[in-house]
Structure 1
Amino acid sequence: MYRPRADSAWWRLWNRARQIGTALIVMEMASTMALSKQSRLPLIEMMMQSKRREQSEKIEQGA
């Protein structure tokens, strides 16, 4: 499977679109849930986990 170089403009654009898409999904989930402190905490934890996952992906790609 063809993988563009991490520094190509297309790859940056794709990563940005993916991040925005993830953020929109998270926001949609947050708006459908009752935003009490109990429901907000797991959401924040999920976002932190996805950030950590993105960081480890970048390290694996050697970017």
Structure 2
Amino acid sequence: MTAQTLSWQKSTYSGEEGDCVELAVAKGGAVLIRESDEPGVVLSTTPSALARFLHAIKRGAAGS
């Protein structure tokens, strides 16, 4: 991944303790995901794939 300035955001439910998932949008529209405790490990996905994943979690089907 090329160096760029990213605006990482975390959920307001995370509080100030850390231990949270952070999201950023890269140039080209990819959604980047990282754990605040391991900021050097970054996953990349598309907005539609992330939406399907979150929908599956809400349905309770993510582990099926």
- In the superposition, the TM-score normalised over structure 1's length comes to 0.33
The higher-RCO structure (CA 8 Å, 6+ apart) is 1
Q: Hey, which of these two has a bigger chunk of helix by percent?
A: 1
- In the superposition, the TM-score normalised over structure 2's length comes to 0.33
Q: Which of 1 and 2 has greater Rg?
A: 1
Q: Hey, which of these two has a bigger chunk of strand by percent?
A: 2
